[in-house]
Amino acid sequence: MSSRNLRQLTRSSASFQRAKVHIKYEKRKNAAITLLIKDLKGLWKAA
Q: Is the pTM of this model over 0.95?
A: no
How far apart (Å, rounded) are the C-alpha atoms in residues 1 and 6? 7
For the cut 80, the answer to whether the pLDDT of residue 47 exceeds it is no
The CA angle 23-29-33, to the nearest 5 degrees, is 145
Per-residue pLDDT tens digits for 1-41: 688 888 888 888 989 999 999 999 999 999 999 999 999 99
Domain extents for the chain?
20-47
pLDDT recorded at residue 3: 86
